[in-house]
Amino acid sequence: MLTVDVPALAATRTVLTLHNLAHQGVFPKEMLPQLGLDWDAFGIHGIEFYGALNVLKHGILTADAVTTVSDTYARDIQTEAHGHRLDGVLRARGAALVGILNGVDYGVWNPATDAALPTRYDAHDLGGKARCRGALQRELGLPHDPDAPLVGFVGRLVEQKGVDALVPAIHKLLRSTEAQFVVAGDGEPALIASLEDEASKSHGRMVFVKAATEVQVHRIFGGSDVVVVPSRYEPCGLVQMYAQRYGAVPVANATGGLIDTIVDCDGKLETGTGFLFAGVTTAHIVAAVERAIAARGQHAGGAWPALVRRIMRLDRGWERPARRYEQVYRSLAQ
């Protein structure tokens, strides 16, 4: 290894943090010398990966500790379904693999101080959220209807994020509910085209914002009643945590970090921090969004505002994750 060539680094301990295991760094084996490794490293217990090189695999095997961005994702990636052919390598690391949930920078994502919002608000006074909602409707050309639920989506327009199932779900929800929809993101041309087509047929009740600015994204969270997160897999996810801080109730697939940050609401909204569904299909998205919309309508006078306040008060900041990272680093320094 490279540390052999640099004696001062021989005792250095390393921590590898994984985000999305799908991105691995696979290259032709002929590139091995360019990595500073000799051919002894090219084997099933080394950097070799189906006859090629896998840089991430080598990092997982050689790191003293491996962290990833949520407890559930740490378990998911040890399964064949979500391990991207590295599940066996990760299982072999045992207790060296640790999940630590990502955090939110509340210096940036905080409706009480957010300069991007037309009106600021917090969990004690939700009046500003209603004004943010009206301002978003005017800005995007949606009907100014205080009673119509406003459902948002913010994210990359790719299959992983479930957008291919979301588009037909929106089509059905436009017929079955009075909801308005805002979709913001960029990505695959076919998905962009389908969203533009759906918006054009929505009679003004759906807006697609391609390549939204950060200011627009903040305003979408501020103005939305519900934010849908239909990811097929999600290492951690920040969208649902931003949504919670801004009082937009998340509706999400039960996977990865979404499970770790959302507790499914009961029928009376006495418990829970969002709405979960199991498996990304159009039918599941429709049913979950309809459940959220129905809950909003049935409990508008009490339990829904209480739910909004509850999710806004959640502590998703970096203090606790930072302490867990510190524990990992300190354990290796002993």
DSSP string of 89-134, one letter each residue: HHHHHGGGEEE------TTTS-TTT-TTSSS---SS-THHHHHHHH
| CATH code for the domain defined by 2-99 | 3.40.50.2000
Residue 1's pLDDT band (cuts 50, 70, 90): very low
Over range 94-109, report the average pLDDT: 96
Residues near 5 by beta carbon (within 8 Å), at least 6 away in sequence: 36
Q: Comparing 7-11, 105-109, 144-148, 150-154, which segment has the lowest mean pLDDT?
A: 7-11
Asked if residue 293 has pLDDT above 90, the reply is yes
Compute the distance between CA of residue 330 and CA of residue 334 in angstroms, rounded to an integer: 7
Q: And the tokens for 96?
A: 């060296």
Over range 155-165, report the average pLDDT: 97
Domain ranges across the chain? 2-99, 127-312
Asked if residue 78 has pLDDT above 80, the reply is yes
Terminal CA-to-CA distance of the chain, rounded, Å?
Answer: 23
Classify strands 26-27 and 52-54 as parallel, antiparallel or unpaired: antiparallel
CATH topology of domain 127-312: Rossmann fold (3.40.50)
At residue 97, φ and ψ (nearest 5 deg) are -95, 120
Cβ-contact 235, 73 below 8 angstroms: yes
CB contact burial 219-258 (16+ within 10 A = b; e otherwise): bbbbbbbbbbbbbbbbbbbbbbbbbbbbbbbbbbbebbbb
pTM: 0.93
Compute the distance between CA of residue 294 and CA of residue 286 in angstroms, rounded to an integer: 12
Report the candidate in 167, 227, 179, 183 with the shortest Cα–Cα distance to residue 203.
Answer: 179
Cβ-contact 281, 165 below 8 angstroms: yes
